[in-house]
């Protein structure tokens, strides 16, 4: 029988990827490089959008917020992992674990919702081009971002507060590099039915809902593009969606991959390795996707670089 003592719970142990001392310097260098590329790339995107008046449009307003969410997403997990590797410690405090879970849910949900809002923006631009400036006015754009933030904060608060009601046993090792909600809940020795129920409902509503919205938007976009007579018009219409579609595919593809990996081996270190794809790799690649596949962004980046050189 497991002994439970919530009052003496001080910390969790994040097992990470490997305890082999020989691999620690390699992992530290790899994740530090990826983190620096992620932060610098996304901040460059934000700076470019702010400094170029040609990019002061709804699509780039949402992109700037997505880039900031990606910076917060990676900053919430990677620095702590780097500190643990450097200090050769696996510990994270109870309060630190709860805080990390909250911000992970906040920024993860925010990414999801912003991608959905961007899909709606592309839907209006292609399916209702004559009414685009009227529909996607600055007031609506701000309201949509604030709504995304509000729902993300509420979900993070609810899930984090529900953790506080749980009692944890003497076994506090988490086979992950951050405090992942599902892993923490299943290390409790008290009843987790309510936590599991809320997690399931949140997954269905906050992941399934936005994905359905994205799929619906693109079904309408594809229908509108097919109705365009000229090949050049079709290509121009599709090119405005290419970057966003790539980002959506990467985000949901990696999330589904992690879900399948966790289902196959829920307590395996392979789940942590798979999670790197959407927690680190996806935020790192988003700036490249939007800068290399978007003509307006490439021109704005060149102008920004020329101003800095001069």
- Residue 303 sits in a domain whose CATH number is 1.20.1070.10
- 5 burial type by CB count under 10 A (0-12 exposed, 13-18 middle, 19+ buried): exposed
How far is residue 257 CA from its own chain's centroid? 14
pTM: 0.91
- Taking the C-alpha atoms of residue 273 and residue 176, their distance in angstroms, rounded to an integer, is 8
Residue 131, domain member (yes or no):
yes
Residue 196, domain member (yes or no):
yes
- Taking the C-alpha atoms of residue 26 and residue 305, their distance in angstroms, rounded to an integer, is 33
Rg (the chain; Cα; Å): 21
| Torsion over CA: 89, 90, 91, 96 (sign) | positive
Residue 1, domain member (yes or no):
no
What are the pLDDT tens digits along the chain (310 aa)? 344 444 446 688 898 877 777 888 899 999 999 999 999 999 999 999 999 888 999 999 999 999 999 999 999 999 999 999 998 888 999 999 999 999 999 999 999 999 999 999 999 999 999 999 999 999 999 999 999 999 999 999 999 999 999 888 766 888 888 998 988 998 888 889 999 999 999 989 998 999 999 999 999 999 998 888 888 878 877 888 888 888 898 888 888 777 766 665 555 566 777 788 888 989 999 888 888 777 888 888 888 887 767 6
Residue 29, domain member (yes or no):
yes
Residue 63, domain member (yes or no):
yes
Residue 5, domain member (yes or no):
no
Domain tally, the chain: 1
Residue 2, domain member (yes or no):
no
Residue 3, domain member (yes or no):
no
């Amino acid at each position: 029988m497991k002994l439970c003592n919530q009052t003496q719970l001080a910390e969790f142990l994040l097992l990470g990827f490997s305890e082999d001392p020989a691999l620690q310097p390699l992992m530290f260098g790899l994740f530090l490089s990826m983190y620096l590329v992620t932060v610098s790339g996304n901040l460059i995107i934000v700076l470019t959008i702010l400094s170029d008046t040609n990019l002061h449009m709804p699509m780039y307003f949402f992109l700037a917020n997505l880039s900031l969410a990606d910076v917060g997403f990676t900053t919430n997990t990677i620095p702590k992992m780097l500190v643990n590797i450097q200090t050769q410690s696996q510990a994270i405090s109870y309060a630190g674990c709860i805080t990390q879970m909250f911000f992970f849910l906040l920024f993860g949900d925010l990414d999801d919702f912003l991608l959905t809002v961007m899909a709606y923006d592309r839907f209006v631009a292609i399916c209702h081009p004559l009414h685009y400036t009227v529909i996607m006015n600055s007031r609506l754009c701000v309201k949509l971002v604030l709504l995304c933030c509000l729902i993300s904060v509420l979900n993070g608060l609810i899930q984090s507060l529900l953790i506080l009601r749980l009692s944890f046993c003497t076994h506090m090792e988490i086979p992950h590099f951050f405090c992942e909600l599902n892993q923490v809940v299943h290390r409790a020795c008290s009843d987790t039915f309510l936590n599991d129920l809320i997690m399931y409902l949140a997954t269905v509503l906050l992941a399934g809902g936005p994905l359905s919205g994205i799929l619906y938007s693109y079904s309408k976009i594809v229908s509108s593009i097919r109705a365009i007579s000229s090949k050049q018009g079709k290509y121009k219409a599709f090119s405005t969606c290419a970057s966003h579609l790539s980002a959506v595919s990467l985000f949901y593809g990696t999330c589904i991959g992690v879900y399948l990996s966790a289902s196959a081996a829920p307590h395996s270190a392979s789940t942590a390795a798979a999670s790197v794809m959407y927690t680190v790799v996806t935020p790192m690649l988003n700036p490249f996707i939007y800068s290399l596949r978007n003509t307006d962004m490439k021109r704005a980046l060149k102008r920004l670089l020329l101003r800095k050189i001069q």
